[in-house]
Structure formats: structure tokens, C-alpha cells
Structure 1
């Protein structure tokens, strides 16, 4: 094959010069290749069968999802602020409807991504909106479609404007991160991707090396995560799937969940 391809399982977009038959993201033991084998799709096929659905979560926070669900089914979250808009995580479809919507809100000034499973077509997003992508250097080997828009960071956090911070938490990947919005609501909002995975009961969070393959984290890693979370103030958490909006007792539930790991 010598054409641009998108992995149908994880949504990662590969360039035309990628000659392997398997998705490098899905081959990693944190992800998986389906029983039926590797499957690919294309931008045109994705655009014909899907659209980007936009939903307002709060005054300055919008959810972007691929509808109907494609691949992992994650959402991206657009955060609006006077000093610049930030796209949290990435989805594998960028259509004219969402481009027009975002430009009407002032564009995107930075993209921050929780971990490699959501790199998807980040190059397209960054080049369309002419903005940088902030990625931890620890995950550079998972970048399969590079761009000069990528800026690597190696510290424990990245400071944006209006006190917004991209904070390394670890766990799922060494560079797994959260985006902390301290001024949007009460004590703040945490956007966590699947650095933390909220249960369907809305009463428990899990944190694992691999969610689909049920591979746990070492307890020493959990202890490090506990210390970091205690230092962050927040009232609400928004995760990687549309139902994962916890708007009451969010920090209490997360701390209680982490205490289960002993």
C-alpha cells in the first residue's frame, strides 16, 4: 500500500509513505488488533459515513465527537478563553462543519493531548488551525505522522495562559496527562482523557496500564499518582467518552477510588 490510511480500530492516521501492514499503536500491549485482523479506512470514506457532532458542556467548553461512533470513540474538548483556545485530545475526523464552528469561536491556539491513543489525525488539526501540538517527549516514538507543529515538553507541567496547566500524571503511559482549568468553575475542572476512566456507575475511577487488556499498574505508580492528584484542586472531571462528566464530588470520588489500590 502507498496511500494515506486510517486505522479503523484506534483512529490513528498514517502517511502515504508508511509501508507496514499493521498499526503501530494497536500492536502495543496497551491497545489491541481485533480478532478479524487489521482494518484500514480513509479520510474520504470516514467523511462520507460520519460527521463531527458539537455539544456545549459549559459556557466555554464544547465536546467534539465523531458521529456515529468510530474507532475508540473518544471525544475532543474545545476550551475557549480570552487569551486563546485550546483543543484537548483529538478525534480522527476534521470536517467543514467543525472547522467553520471553531473559526467562528476564534480558532485554536494550542492542542494538548492526554496520550498516544488520541494522536489520531493531530497533524491535520494543527496545520488547519496553524497551532502547536504539545506532546511529552517520552511518547515521541508513538508519533507516526509527524509535523513541525509538534512541540515536545519534558517537565512535570506546561503553563498556558489564564493559569491553565497541562500536568503529567503518568500511569496509562509515562506521559499521560490532564488539562487543569482552575478558573472555569469553583475550584476548577480537570479534563483527563482516559488517564482516569470513570465507571458507568459514576462512582469509581480506574487507572490502568492497559484498559482493553486489563493490565494493572504497579502500586508504586499508583502512589505517585495519588500524591499528584492531592495537589490539584477541582470540582468537576470530564473524561474521554461523552458520558464521563462528573460534576459533583469529583475529587472526593477520585481520591477514594485511588485508595482502593493497595
Structure 2
């Protein structure tokens, strides 16, 4: 068993290149537990955890580790006639999950919102023989650069079937959202925690650090909001299983930003 997975964020480091402290967690946007850095292995995760696969729409499945591990995020499998996309990642790729995804046609690509969810992305990409799309402004946070990682630049990364990844910045320099126009009448955004939907689903936060409650400058929040206004959406899904806003996401975002940015 090779202990190369950070138990706090789920990032997998190359064998033989494991740092004393995970640089993603020692950054202000995350944290190292008071008890200190803890490492685990893929073997232990397979032994101790399972994977939940739950259908949200006919074309969308959420995937997460049970019991919660590390940040506890979910990934999304989005099915389209032109190929399937994985949005964000979870640190456990079980045989059950591989079989399920292959039964749906495999993966055409993997795309990310930001570095906290890179986890074991190289294992995913190798298993499904697909590229991984990461914005170039987050290149410095790729500590395990596999051969299938493809860095993109600029404001948008067009995919297929009208889908595109849109650069936002804020939480991380390369933070992004995924736009899938066909899933709801006004279009759907998958936002990771580039934007953070509150448990009440009546507020959306845009911060530099969510666990440490560090705000962004009002100017940056306004820039992100202005970019989002140019995108058609009425529905939004975040990184965690309570973060689903259907039908009124645009209005909730506008009211949220309006409380703090004039």
C-alpha cells in the first residue's frame, strides 16, 4: 500500500514524490488538520469506502464516496449522444463504478472546476483513455502531471453538443464552470465550488476560501457575476449533494451578489 493520497483533500501524488505536507491543503483555501498531515492509499479507500451512483436526470448521474472522504465532493457523469463527460472527480475509482460508466459508453473527456478536485484524475484518464481539461491558470497546482492532461487557455473551452467550460477565476485563478444548455429550459451550470450554494438554497457565495471564510474583493465578485450574466442558465448544481438549484438559480445569484456589490 503506497500512502500517496492526502486524506484531507483527496489529491493523489506521484509515487516517490509525496511531500511532507500537501501543498493544496497548506494553502489558505484549504487547511491541514490540527492533528497534522495524514496520508492514505488507494487500496485502503477500496477497502473502507464505497461509491454512490445516483441519477439526477435521464442524462446526468452524481457520483460520490461513501462514507464521505476528504472534501466530500461529488462528480457528475453527463451523458450525450456525442460522448460522455465527467465533471470534477472523486478519489475512488471502484470496479463497480468503472463497469457502470463503461455500460453507459465510457468517457470522452474529464473537465475540472478547480484543483481541490483533481484527486486521482490520472487513474480515471488512463482507465477510460480520455483527456483531462484544466485551465492554464491553475497549471501550478497540477502536482501529478499525467500524459492525458490538456491545459486550455482563454475564456471558454468548447466541448460538444453545445457544452462548454467557462473560465471564472475567483476561488482559484483558473476556476471554471460547466455550461450544459440542454438540461433545463434556461440552461444548466455545474459550478463545483467556484460558486457555493447555501444549504437554504436562497444564497450563493463567491469566495476566495470557503473553509477559512476569506472573501474576494468586490471587484472580482462583480467580474465573475458579469461573466455569468452572459451565460444562459436557470439551474445550478454545486459540488455537494445539497447544492441543487432548479429553475431560479439566476435570480438567487443576482439577489446574492446584490447584497454585497452595488
Q: Above 0.5 in TM-score?
A: yes
- Separation in 1 of the partners of 2:162 and 2:191? 17
Unaligned residue ranges in structure 2 (runs of 5+): none
Runs of at least 4 residues off by over 6 Å: none
- Separation in 2 of the partners of 1:187 and 1:242? 22
Contact 1:3 1:15 in 2 (8 A): no
| Residue correspondence of structure 1 range 23-172 to structure 2 within 5 A | 23-172=22-171
3-state DSSP class of the match of 1:14? coil
- Separation in 2 of the partners of 1:20 and 1:54? 32
Contact 1:4 1:14 in 2 (8 A): no
- Separation in 1 of the partners of 2:212 and 2:247? 30
Q: CA deviation at 1:3?
A: 3.8
- CA-to-aligned-CA distance 1:155-208 (integer Å, 9 cap, x gap): 100001111010001110111110000012211110000011111111000010
- CA-to-aligned-CA distance 1:114-153 (integer Å, 9 cap, x gap): 0000001100001100000000111111111111101111
3-state DSSP class of the match of 1:146? coil
3-state DSSP class of the match of 2:116? helix
- CA-to-aligned-CA distance 1:186-231 (integer Å, 9 cap, x gap): 1111000001111111100001000111111011101101111111
Unaligned residue ranges in structure 1 (runs of 5+): none
- CA-to-aligned-CA distance 1:81-118 (integer Å, 9 cap, x gap): 00010000000000000000000000000100000000
Contact 1:222 1:261 in 2 (8 A): no
The yes-or-no answer on 1:248 pairing with 2:242 is: no
The yes-or-no answer on 1:11 pairing with 2:16 is: no
- Separation in 1 of the partners of 2:201 and 2:79? 26
Provide the aligned length of Structure 1 versus Structure 2.
Answer: 261
3-state DSSP class of the match of 2:101? helix
- Separation in 2 of the partners of 1:191 and 1:8? 25
The yes-or-no answer on 1:236 pairing with 2:235 is: yes
| Residue correspondence of structure 1 range 216-235 to structure 2 within 5 A | 216-235=215-234
Contact 1:76 1:87 in 2 (8 A): yes
3-state DSSP class of the match of 2:139? helix
- Aligned residue number for residue 197 of structure 2: 198
Q: CA deviation at 1:34?
A: 0.6
Contact 1:3 1:17 in 2 (8 A): no
- CA-to-aligned-CA distance 1:20-59 (integer Å, 9 cap, x gap): 2111110111111011100011111111110111000001
Q: CA deviation at 1:4?
A: 4.7
- Aligned residue number for residue 206 of structure 2: 207
Q: CA deviation at 1:19?
A: 4.2
- Separation in 1 of the partners of 2:3 and 2:14? 5
Contact 1:180 1:190 in 2 (8 A): yes
